[in-house]
Structure 1
Amino acid sequence: MATVSYHLKEPGGDKPTALFIWFNPQNGQPRIRIYTGDKIHPDQWEGGDAQRAKTPKRGPETERNKAINTNNERMAKRLLDHWAQCRAAGKLPTAEELRAVVEPEVPGTPEPERFRPLPDFLAYLSRMEKKNSPNTVRSHRTTYNHLAVFVAKSSRSLEYSDMTREWKDRFAGYLSEEQKLADSSVNKQLKILKEFLADAADHQRTPRIDVKGWSWKFAEPAVLALTTGELAQLEALTGLPPYLENARGLWLLMAYTGLRYSDAMTLRPEHDKGETLQLVPKKTTDIKATVYVRKPARALLNKWWAGELRPISNAKLNQYIKVVCELAGIDELTEQITYYAQTSRPHKVTKKKYLRISCHSARRTYTTLSFAKDIPLELIMQATGHVNAKTTLRYNQTTIARQVEVSRRAWGEDE
């Protein structure tokens, strides 16, 4: 019995490719290739037994994909019916005759496929899952969810042509006013959206969209550093359960070296050069970081190489280090300011310091205390992997406690 199957001309490509039929007579005669006149992106096609254009449950179904599936079903029926009629009449149809059977389903001038942002964003997330960390994919999926809700509230589908600067202002206003996102979060959503639009242009889903001015005024939330005294409290803490002792060790390793979480969790023996660690940071791959290994850092590195320190997730380390700092008595009252509506609405709350300590606090502690020890700026930048002095200087956190601590030492008034 003759069979019909559908295939992509370039299934491994990164742009829309022609869709064609293999018609197999199953009588010893060669297969016949018949083009359907449709094109589809490989990301939108389910091969194997399905052989259908995707119409995902999440996000709006594309009318184009549904039309392709309907057209394919009609063409398959016409081909098989014509084949059966010819065989019943005792003749074999030619390839030209079979192609003519499906010509009514192939318009002379195919209407260009209309791509839309929401289905393309889902495909973008699927590609990200193969090469990015779960946390990165999760943050991008959050942006997609915000976008999908915003589009649903507008009661009309979103086109790439809609995504102007005025549209950006409406979307950002929605995030700020209705979703109550802080300014830094709004700016992050816009940054991720710009990354998606660049990817969509690279995949020829849309002409490149001008995203100049797609930003949101914000103030970086303050990340606290520990003072020398507080660091000593953390170092002196004993009697912790193993999981908290492990978290304490990981955090101290970052505080002693200034490494980001992503770099500290991926340290390898080849990075250890004895007196220094030398590695290319994951975030700034165009510069090598060189970090002096202090004695307490060496002890922790030896544990890391021996497997006595174990990597844990960023979220878990952020959670556990707060508990560790509370047990160490790092409980000074601090004021936390979160900014909304492009910094026009500051929201202030008082929190004990241990509640505000995170993985990034370790890096800030390293930088702040290095400045306090009069280590030159260029050497601190070499350790942190910063290429801009302004970035490093932002890490230099002068608190009242630190100001008192440094001033007493400078004037010889230590108690």
Structure 2
Amino acid sequence: MASIKFRLRSNANKNVSIKVRVILGRGKQDLELNTGFSINPKDWSETTDLPKQNTPENKVILNNLKKLESFLFESINTDMGESVVIDTFWLDAKINECFKRVVKNDTGLLVSHIQYIIDNANTRKVKTNGGFKIGLSASTIKNYTLFKNIILEYQAKTKKQIQFVEVTKPFVDKFTNWLVNTKKYSTNYAGKQLEILKTVCIDAEKHEIPVTPYSKTIQHFRESDTDRYIQTLSFAELEQIKNVDLSNVEQLKEFKASNPELTKGISITPEALNNARNWILIGCEIGQRGGDLLKITNDNIRYKGTTIYIDIIQQKTNKSVTIGIIAPHVIDIIENHLPKEVPHQKLNDYVKVVCKLAGINEVVKGTKLNTETNRKELGMYPKHELITTHCFRRSFATNYYKKIPTAVLIGITGHSKESLFLTYINQREDKDNNADLFMKFYSDLHKDKTPEMKIILNTIAK
């Protein structure tokens, strides 16, 4: 049984705070906090432990205290049945929730610390391979901002603010269920939110904010390799894209008229389509993320003799990578037709058009965004509908895997280790291939050496 009482802690001849006291289980828990209301002790009834009804102001305070009492009883019954931790953090949150008060600078609130991370993003230390760097990347800040919005939406749904001390296993299980079954987020996206939640909790503890032991061990997840459907452009398909005629204006007009959904919002002109084609052909030869690819200018291009290099500092990892360009058609693009930057989403739209015109129409299994639900749906689609700028990087990694040493490919893509690279292209480690490569390199290393003559003595046993 729970009991709720109100009292004053002072008899001063001035307004003093009214406190609420919550007692649970025969005194096993005794919580007390300010209600936010105050009254002069002469207007307080020692008999009822409530305000006297001698002024309109006191009647308003009485009604508010009755409202709080009812709200707390209801919340206790609900939360105790759901294994929610009831403590001073809980009581403080309930008082604020009852009167819809905005809590500012409350370090115990999950949302407050997420905002703290965002506000201090430019001075936060980030671990790198070489030590530390200062400042979160734009993509990381975006992830924290999206996570904060998700938490705000979940709080609105549950009608309570989340304290760090409430991040227990039951809470995480319910939150996960909401992400996957109510919001219909993909496995990877839902798992990413749990990963960020764990990171925020660990960071909060470093700032001496009390957290639950469980919050530092939250299990996040991602889809299994067998559930992943990645799309790549093979060398043969890239040849189709390279050779497709995009110059016939009349044919392009007819194509636009017969494909209104595919061409919606973009200009179907030879110039625009050739620009997109050049981004595809460069992207599939240099293995970089779309954001890094689209930032390439003449400043990134460097000559060493007759060899062309592209130098890039990857936005996501801050890694510096250099790619040598060998393919003649890509050299021609870089020297004579370097494409113009296009908004990322616009390029994704153009890429689909170019691929369809090039005949990349095989029906394949994959996930496609449903614009009505704003969720990706698994199904069978023409391949050109599934191609995006991110496929360029995967195409590079997939096409050159086993043709070029994996260590070299990783140095270009920027993956931190081979296991991540192999997961990225849905491949398992091929130990025989590693052995074959070793023998090939060993053979090449010694091929110019003169064979040694060995003299074998023919001795006769006596």
Bin the TM-score by the shorter chain.
Answer: 0.5 to 0.7
Moved more, 361-370 or 135-144: 135-144
Instruction: Give, as a single letter, the amino acid of the residue that structure 1 aligns with 2:232.
Output: A
Structure with greater contact order relative to length (CA < 8 Å, sep ≥ 6):
1
Could you tell me the TM-score, scaled by structure 1's length?
0.58
1:235 is matched with 242
CA gap 1:395/1:132 in 2 versus in 1, 3 angstroms: closer
- After TM superposition, give the deviation of residue 128 of structure 1 in Å: 5.1
2:330 is matched with 297
1:118 is matched with 111
Instruction: Give, as a single letter, the amino acid of the residue that structure 2 aligns with 1:152.
Output: A
- After TM superposition, give the deviation of residue 178 of structure 1 in Å: 1.0
Find the aligned partners of 1:119 and 1:230 in 2 and give their Cα distance: 50
Matched-pair contact (CA < 8 Å) for 1:129–1:137 = no
Find the aligned partners of 2:413 and 2:217 in 1 and give their Cα distance: 30
1:107 is matched with none
Structure 2 unaligned regions, length at least 5: 1-99, 124-134, 248-268, 369-375, 428-462
Query: Aligned to 1:181, what secondary structure does the other structure show?
Result: coil
Aligned equivalent of 1:371, options 401, 404, 409: 401
Find the aligned partners of 1:314 and 1:167 in 2 and give their Cα distance: 37
Matched-pair contact (CA < 8 Å) for 1:256–1:296 = no
1:226 is matched with 233
Aligned equivalent of 1:149, options 147, 150, 153: 153
Matched-pair contact (CA < 8 Å) for 1:165–1:214 = no
Find the aligned partners of 1:380 and 1:208 in 2 and give their Cα distance: 42
Asked if residue 323 in structure 1 is aligned to residue 317 in structure 2, the reply is no
Find the aligned partners of 2:166 and 2:398 in 1 and give their Cα distance: 46
2:144 is matched with 140
- After TM superposition, give the deviation of residue 197 of structure 1 in Å: 3.8
Aligned equivalent of 2:291, options 262, 265, 270: 262
Find the aligned partners of 1:190 and 1:258 in 2 and give their Cα distance: 29
Asked if residue 212 in structure 1 is aligned to residue 212 in structure 2, the reply is no
Query: Aligned to 1:211, what secondary structure does the other structure show?
Result: helix
Matched-pair contact (CA < 8 Å) for 2:325–2:331 = no
2:282 is matched with 253
Q: Output the aligned Cα RMSD.
A: 3.4
Find the aligned partners of 1:64 and 1:366 in 2 and give their Cα distance: 49
Could you tell me the TM-score, scaled by structure 2's length?
0.53
Question: Greater Rg, structure 1 or structure 2?
Answer: 2
CA gap 1:303/1:199 in 2 versus in 1, 3 angstroms: farther
- After TM superposition, give the deviation of residue 145 of structure 1 in Å: 2.5
Encode CA deviations 1:168-218: one digit per residue, 9 max, x unaligned: 222111111111112111012223333444554565555697432330342
Matched-pair contact (CA < 8 Å) for 2:114–2:144 = no
CA gap 1:133/1:287 in 2 versus in 1, 3 angstroms: closer
- After TM superposition, give the deviation of residue 317 of structure 1 in Å: 2.0
- After TM superposition, give the deviation of residue 353 of structure 1 in Å: 0.2
Structure 1 unaligned regions, length at least 5: 1-59, 66-112, 339-345, 399-415
Matched-pair contact (CA < 8 Å) for 1:277–1:293 = no
Matched-pair contact (CA < 8 Å) for 2:363–2:381 = yes
Instruction: Give, as a single letter, the amino acid of the residue that structure 2 aligns with 1:162.
Output: E
- After TM superposition, give the deviation of residue 377 of structure 1 in Å: 2.3
Find the aligned partners of 1:301 and 1:192 in 2 and give their Cα distance: 39
- After TM superposition, give the deviation of residue 162 of structure 1 in Å: 0.8
Instruction: Give, as a single letter, the amino acid of the residue that structure 2 aligns with 1:379.
Output: V
Find the aligned partners of 1:272 and 1:363 in 2 and give their Cα distance: 21
Aligned equivalent of 2:180, options 156, 176, 181: 176
CA gap 1:208/1:164 in 2 versus in 1, 3 angstroms: closer
CA gap 1:279/1:186 in 2 versus in 1, 3 angstroms: same
Query: Aligned to 2:401, what secondary structure does the other structure show?
Result: helix
Matched-pair contact (CA < 8 Å) for 2:166–2:212 = no
CA gap 1:318/1:224 in 2 versus in 1, 3 angstroms: same
CA gap 1:388/1:170 in 2 versus in 1, 3 angstroms: same
2:392 is matched with 362
Find the aligned partners of 1:120 and 1:175 in 2 and give their Cα distance: 21
Matched-pair contact (CA < 8 Å) for 2:240–2:358 = yes
Matched-pair contact (CA < 8 Å) for 1:249–1:309 = yes
Matched-pair contact (CA < 8 Å) for 1:254–1:363 = yes
The 5-angstrom pairing of residues 5-404 of structure 1 reads 61-63=101-103, 115-127=108-120, 137-201=141-205, 210-219=215-224, 221-237=228-244, 238-239=246-247, 240-267=269-296, 269=299, 272-274=302-304, 275=307, 276-285=309-318, 288-303=321-336, 308-336=338-366, 348-371=378-401, 374-396=403-425
Find the aligned partners of 2:157 and 2:286 in 1 and give their Cα distance: 48
Identity across matched positions, percent: 22
Find the aligned partners of 1:303 and 1:132 in 2 and give their Cα distance: 36
Encode CA deviations 1:369-400: one digit per residue, 9 max, x unaligned: 2237x2232322232223322233345569xx
Query: Aligned to 1:247, what secondary structure does the other structure show?
Result: helix
CA gap 1:119/1:395 in 2 versus in 1, 3 angstroms: closer
Find the aligned partners of 1:262 and 1:63 in 2 and give their Cα distance: 38
